[in-house]
Amino acid sequence: MSLSINITDLAVVANGNADKKEFARRSEKAAALVQEFSEQSSLAAFEALLNGPQGNVMAAAIAAASLAREVNDQSLMVEQEVTRFLEQAPKS
């Protein structure tokens, strides 16, 4: 289920002085990428849960706990990417 996210196109400029119009354009692209990643990650988690161990309650609980850790890790990756991008945002 593990997915990765790295929005490389969001490195606006090395020195952080991004043009506001360009930053806005890239922000829209970033939002679309993050939304797509989140949707795919959620669908993968749901599929993994549905295809998990059948009939063995303990195995199902262990698989669900493992899946929850993965989903949490995915959420942290998304948060880190968004934070990284926001740090490059033009200051008003």
User: Does 54 map to a domain?
Assistant: yes
Q: What is the pLDDT of residues 73-85, one digit of tens each?
A: 888 888 888 787 7
Establish if 80 belongs to a structural domain. Answer: yes
Please tell me the pTM assigned to this model.
Answer: 0.59
Parent domain of 49 = 16-87
- What is the domain count for the chain? 1
Domain membership of residue 11 (yes or no) is no
CB 33 within 8 A of CB 7: yes
Within a domain: 37:
yes
24-57 per-position pLDDT tens digit: 777 788 888 888 888 888 888 888 888 888 888 8
Residue 65 half-sphere exposure toward CB, CA atoms < 13 A? 6
Q: What are phi and psi of 36, to 5 degrees?
A: -65, -45
Query: Does 47 reside within a domain?
Result: yes
